[in-house]
Structure 1
Amino acid sequence: MKINTVSIVGCGWFGLPLAKELVNQGFVVSGSKRSAEDALALELDNISGFVLDLDNSNDNQAHLNVKLHTDAIIINIPPSIRKSPGAYIRRLEQLKRLIAAHQYQKLIFISTTGVYPSCGKLVTEQDAQAHSEASEVLLQAESLFNQASNACVIRFAGLVGPARHPGRFLAGKTELAGADSPVNIVHLDDCVAAVTCVLSSDKVSDTYNLCAPEHPTRKEFYTQMARSLSLVEPEFGDIAQAGKVIDGSKISTELGFEYQHQDPMKICFTL
């Protein structure tokens, strides 16, 4: 069956560019925002906006059914675990109740590579484990949806792109640890392209990592990124960190996906 209609829960920094790209490719796209004003603004980009506040009761169930009961759904709710880990799970549980009666041709859940411990080695999709309170929450969130029929979890590495230039992340900081630890990042362009690829592919695995293939050291990367913005370069101390190398090649091997931004050291020229 062909996917024609897509609902995106969370049209923010990532969800909105994704929605625009899907519209450009001919999909009929619905997108959620938490306020009526923001939902209405989506109409300017030919996105059928609707209000969805998972912290409060959503009274118009019939309206939500129209917007959420599409051929495919992409769930993109920022974790905000440090502020309120319990709230994140409650929001997802509420969403699960709202869509429980519908069978999707494809359900894509956006997660993060925070599910992998800093073990000092290459990690693949099979290496996720509850190594911290945050990772426990992330894995619990994935488990709410990854058993659904036609579900696929996509784990993003550190996100960079418009308004998220990595040169600002550590600029001016001193005595930083992990100078030689590898960097794991992914550009917004690749996030949009990868989710679009999964959405359009007939047969996909249940989980994919998304991370740039090259992994410079933290010192190399953040020093150059700060320098590219003429900011104060970060200073690294002698404290080592094990780090990890996220293997994001599975999606390329299985689906033929090609990263547009393979070398993080060159990304500063495209932000």
Structure 2
Amino acid sequence: MTSTKKPRISIIGCGWLGKPLFQTLFKQYEVFCSTRQKEESSFENYCYNPPQSSSFWDCDYAIVAISTKDNYLETLKQIAAYVNSEAVVILLSSISVYREYDGEVDEETPITQTGKQYEAEILMQRLRKKLIVLRLGGLMGEDRISGKWSKVSTFEDGPVNYVHRDDVIGIIQKILLKKTSSGIFNVVAPQHPLRSAIHRSNAEKFGFKPGRFEGMTRRKILSKKVVEYLKYEFIYPDPLRFW
């Protein structure tokens, strides 16, 4: 990359997070987004299932924002092989990798109980020399309203580990600005109110009946590294004020 050339960014996955990320970065960078929805292929800079020969993969940054469903690990292998070897890959992972713990954890906490998400991180670390892993908390904001679930009525209480979608986008912008090329970062709002408090607050705001709570967890995912290393200031530090 040179100072006179806009970094070229390819986003794999144009869903609930990928689409607004594309719209935000499009204002500053040369950005492309891959989609599995054929009807979206007519949108500007959208690519429908780009083949290996596509210029889509010739990028400076590749942001992987796909679901863990549908042959996730095999899809990641394909992405790792297709993306330009010098590109920085940003893998959007999850704090589910810390499921074995019931206390405070950070990026240095050892993970001994592996699941699909952690296997994905290890796989990409093996296949890519420039890799950033963002372990996202529970994605909230806009139409994702904590407690307003039609199919769930009983919840476990405890401190939440949520993050607003706008902060995920903001942290990615900070990574691009700093030209970071490696690292693991927890992406979670720094405040952890109880889930029951958020549900009660949202029930009042949005007019739904809060569910019941049974049991208590104590897991808190710390995100000091994004604040200290990336110098990031959260737009929404308090999940009680996400909506």
Instruction: Give the Cα–Cα distance (whole angstroms) in 2 for the partners of residues 227 and 199 of structure 1.
Output: 39
> What amino acid maps onto 1:141 in structure 2?
A
Structure 1 residues 230 and 35: alpha-carbon distance in aligned structure 2, compared to 1, 3 A threshold: closer
* C-alpha displacement of 1:155: 0.8
Instruction: Give the Cα–Cα distance (whole angstroms) in 2 for the partners of residues 216 and 35 of structure 1.
Output: 37
* C-alpha displacement of 1:202: 3.0
Corresponding residue for residue 157 of structure 1: 137
> What amino acid maps onto 2:23 in structure 1?
K
Instruction: Within 5 Å, give how 1:32-71 maps onto structure 2.
Output: 32-41=34-43, 43=44, 48-52=45-49, 60-62=51-53, 64=54, 66-71=55-60
* C-alpha displacement of 1:151: 1.1
Alignment of 1:8 with 2:5, yes or no, is no
* C-alpha displacement of 1:263: 0.7
Structure 1 residues 209 and 103: alpha-carbon distance in aligned structure 2, compared to 1, 3 A threshold: same
Structure 1 residues 49 and 210: alpha-carbon distance in aligned structure 2, compared to 1, 3 A threshold: same
SS at match of 1:255: coil
Alignment of 1:113 with 2:89, yes or no, is no
Instruction: Within 5 Å, give how 1:233-248 maps onto structure 2.
Output: 233-237=210-214, 240-248=215-223
RMSD: 2.1
> What amino acid maps onto 1:202 in structure 2?
K
TM-score by length of 2: 0.90
Structure 1 residues 129 and 117: alpha-carbon distance in aligned structure 2, compared to 1, 3 A threshold: same
Instruction: Give the Cα–Cα distance (whole angstroms) in 2 for the partners of residues 195 and 103 of structure 1.
Output: 20
- Superposed CA deviations along residues 178-226 of structure 1, whole A, max 9, x for unmatched, are x3x1111000100101111112213465100000111011211222122
- Where does structure 1 lack aligned partners over 5 or more consecutive residues? 53-57
Corresponding residue for residue 77 of structure 2: 93
> What amino acid maps onto 1:257 in structure 2?
Y
Corresponding residue for residue 55 of structure 1: none
> What amino acid maps onto 1:97 in structure 2?
A
* C-alpha displacement of 1:40: 1.6
SS at match of 2:210: coil
Is the 8 Å Cα contact of residues 130 and 182 (structure 2) preserved in structure 1? Answer: no
- Where does structure 2 lack aligned partners over 5 or more consecutive residues? none
Structure 1 residues 264 and 123: alpha-carbon distance in aligned structure 2, compared to 1, 3 A threshold: same
Corresponding residue for residue 241 of structure 2: 266
TM-score by length of 1: 0.81
Structure 1 residues 170 and 222: alpha-carbon distance in aligned structure 2, compared to 1, 3 A threshold: farther
Alignment of 1:191 with 2:168, yes or no, is yes
